Structure 1
Amino acid sequence: MTSADVPPTAPVEAVVLDYGGVLTGPVKESIAAWIEADGIDPESFSRTLRAWMSRRAPAGTPIHRLETGELTVAEFDALLAAELTTIDGRPVDPVGVLSRLFAAMRPDPAMFDLVEELRALGVRVALLSNSWGNTYPRERIDALLDPVVISGEVGLRKPAAPIYELTLARLGVAAGSALFVDDAEPNVLGARAVGMRAHLHVDAPSTRAALAALVPGLRPTPNGAPA
């Protein structure tokens, strides 16, 4: 069955989730805590992010190479630190930049509860994540999510089509039977380009409500919460 054979209103067979910013709290909050703690000039970080990650960024930026595993975390840390400035003019310590950047990122219990409920309803749940050298809670996610597709491990990255196609092949479902959830719009658009349905994640309540419209038996609010 091709994605064109699956009606847009058909129940989803599989949900594919991003990690950072979807299964965790907002990444921007962890970044803000790191910027404050390290005294980083916010504009220097924003400028670097635009140059390396925006839709107009050329192929092969340090972020692209980090996400596909071509750069080690230590190599990326050094490149990023060299682009950053601090408020008081001190050099940025290149050792452990990414570790400090993600230090305040925590799993979102509401989203992990949602994964459990989806699985109990017979829906396959997978992970598709662009890795920035994150330390994933592998024991926890490997027990809940199948397949687990991490960009640095497969040499592919969102929003390019091949990583979505690889995930669908590992799931064994048609693109139109899968719903992709990500907090970054380019990645949502990339999923739609290969025929997947997709939802831009803002928070757990709105994502749950969106999935409840497509997954029979899933409540729009958590068990015990007012409808």
Structure 2
Amino acid sequence: MSERNVKVILLDLGGVVLTNGWDREARRRAVETFELEGDDFHERHRLVQDLFDTGRLELEEYLDQVVFHRGRPFSREDFRAFMRTQSQAHEEMITLIHDLKSHYRLRVAALSNESRELARHRVETFHLHAFVDVFVISGFVGLKKPDPAIYRLALDLLQVPAEAAVYLEDRETFVETARELGLDGIHHTGFESTMKALEERGLGLLHGVDAPY
């Protein structure tokens, strides 16, 4: 692949630089940990997921509808704490993005489907402000991938054409949408393959930079 004049890295958070925050596997663990009624819990989540992910349903309202619609032997804080602990850092990827941003003077934008409260927790806990310039997160902007409008919003906020950006994403469907809009989408399946794909685009890895937290 020929090198591009890359000015911006767009990246998903969950599945790229962090684990997913509240995905199917995390919810399955919640069912087991808190002995929830699995079918009912998953159906209630499904019915409000888009509202939750786009900031129209706050965390406490989500908990009212999905978990605490009946009495529970555990507290809201117990459940909120469990939700927060599902997030972990992919340190190699954070180091890589931080390194590339610094060396090539790139701007970095997060383009992610996340609820408002969990996104704020993740931004603060993992010090994402250290390497992310703009947060285009569904819970903040009221749009959700794969809606093309959220990709266009990210480019508008950064004031760059699609051709000047690469996009790192672990869900292939979202990569396909990005490519249809002219973005150079990289399907992230692991650190080594993504590092190689970036090198092919003229963004070689520099060694010796520590993660920014």
TM-score (norm 1): 0.72
| 1:44–1:148 Cα change, 3 Å | same
Aligned structure 1 segments of 4 or more residues deviating by more than 4 angstroms: 26-33, 40-49, 90-94, 96-99
| 1:150–1:92 Cα change, 3 Å | farther
Structure 2 letter corresponding to 1:34: A
Deviation of residue 40 (structure 1)? 4.5
1:81 to 56, 67, 70: 67
Say if 2:2 and 2:201, in contact at 8 Å, map to a contact too. no
Number of aligned residues? 200
Structure 2 letter corresponding to 1:208: M
Say if 2:6 and 2:164, in contact at 8 Å, map to a contact too. yes
| 1:33–1:194 Cα change, 3 Å | same
What secondary structure does 2:111 align onto?
Answer: strand
Instruction: Please state which structure has a larger fraction of its residues in helix.
Output: 2
Query: 2:200 and 2:153 mapped to 1: Cα distance?
Result: 26
Query: 1:39 and 1:163 mapped to 2: Cα distance?
Result: 37
Q: CA RMSD in A?
A: 3.2
| More displaced 10-residue stretch of structure 1: 94-103 or 196-205 | 94-103
- For 1:123-182, what per-residue CA distance to the aligned partner results, in whole angstroms no more than 9, with x for missing partners? 221111222231123382223111122222222221111111111011121112211112
Query: 1:48 and 1:214 mapped to 2: Cα distance?
Result: 43
- Identity within the alignment, %: 27
Deviation of residue 93 (structure 1)? 5.8
Deviation of residue 48 (structure 1)? 6.2
Structure 1, unmatched stretches of 5+, are: 1-6, 53-60, 84-89
| 1:179–1:92 Cα change, 3 Å | farther
Say if 1:30 and 1:103, in contact at 8 Å, map to a contact too. no
Deviation of residue 30 (structure 1)? 4.5
Structure 2, unmatched stretches of 5+, are: 209-213
